[in-house]
Amino acid sequence: MAKTTLLNKESGMDDLEQQLTALITQIRQHPPQSLQWRLAMDRLLREIQQLPGLLKSSHHDYPAVLNRTFEWVSKNISKFEPYSGSVVESLVKWINSYLYRRIQDLSLPKKNTPLSLDAPITSDFGEITLLDKLPNFTLSGLDSLIENSQRENNQRIGLQLEHYIEQDPEEKLKNSYPRSCVECNCQLLSQRLILKEPPDKVAEIARDLSIPRTTVNSHWKRKCEPMLQKIAENLGYKQEQSL
């Protein structure tokens, strides 16, 4: 009985190793903030929360620290390299190296009196406020708040889109298919190319449906992707515009 339990644990760890590897690979294959990137990143962050050995703290600000750590992971996952043969062990150590410092910051003493940006200070140019001296800092802070808010909003939309694909409440996805194959509809393609971990290849789907690979690829590009983009926009997603 004990041997069977041990084998089950080892099998579960192997599955987790493969899943994390597949998610990290998928994230690196897609442009940051793209639909596929956000869906894969959201799944990775959910898996990270369940990893054994992740540092914990009873401090009331720990959730904020954890969210800050997840933001750091999102920005730096492309730099992650396993330290050993275990992706799980290496990922936990990598994340904990950052999370530990953030938890340590929670114990730093805080000043009793908050610094007022409107408090007058003396300078060579007369009496000014701290706000006058730090325009770039305050603008940068505002940009950071907006960026964080947008990221959280996009993650929420990613989950809603995933739910929409599975439910297809208006059957828009299911009713969009090439004339030659009803089964090759946008719901099935979305499930196999976006939601499945790891995603199937177009050639595999074409073989399963006994249709040409070009048919699957063409329908996905011409019909499904634009439809998913429109659905995401209806859910509130706004495509970032380059300056």
Calculate mean pLDDT across residues 15-28.
90
Q: Do you find a cis peptide bond into 199, omega within 30 degrees of 0?
A: no
Cα separation of 78 and 63, whole Å? 24
In percent, how much of the chain has pLDDT > 70?
Answer: 72
Q: Which of 237, 235, 216 is nearest to 33 (CA)?
A: 237
Segment 6-25 shows an average pLDDT of 73
Average pLDDT over residues 94-109: 84
Is 18 a residue whose pLDDT tops 60? yes
Comparison of pLDDT for 14 and 136, the residue scoring more? 14
- In this predicted structure, what is the pLDDT of residue 110? 55
pLDDT number for residue 5: 39
Which neighbouring-strand residues pair with 123? Answer: 126
Which residue has better confidence, 33 or 147? 33
Task: Give the least confident one: 52-66, 100-114, 159-173, 220-234.
Answer: 100-114
Query: In terms of C-beta density within 10 A (0-12 exposed, 13-18 middle, 19 or more buried), how is residue 109 classed?
Result: exposed
Model pLDDT, residue 152: 61
Per-residue pLDDT averaged across 110-127, rounded?
47
Please give the single-letter amino acid code of residue 34.
S
* CB distance 161 to 228 below 8 Å: yes
Using the Cα atoms of residue 224, residue 226, residue 228 and residue 231 in order, give the sign of their dihedral. negative
Look at residue 224 in the predicted model and tell me its pLDDT: 93
The CA distance from 167 to 185, in Å, is 14
Q: What is the mean pLDDT of the chain?
A: 77
At 12 the pLDDT is 54
**CA dihedral sign of residues 215, 221, 227, 231:** positive
Question: Which 8-state DSSP code applies to residue 77?
Answer: G
H or E element that contains 123: strand 120-123
Mean per-residue pLDDT for 126-149? 45
Q: Give the count of alpha carbons within 13 A of 242, CB side only.
A: 1
pLDDT at 155: 67
Tokens, residue 167: 């439910």
Buried b or exposed e, range 63-81, using 16+ CB within 10 angstroms: eebbebbbbebbeebeebe
Average pLDDT over every residue of 55-84: 87
Which of 105-114, 142-151, 153-162, 225-234 ranks highest by mean pLDDT? 225-234
pLDDT of 142-196, one tens digit each?
A: 445 445 555 666 667 777 888 888 888 889 999 999 998 999 999 999 989 888 8
- Mean pLDDT, range 214-238, rounded to an integer: 88
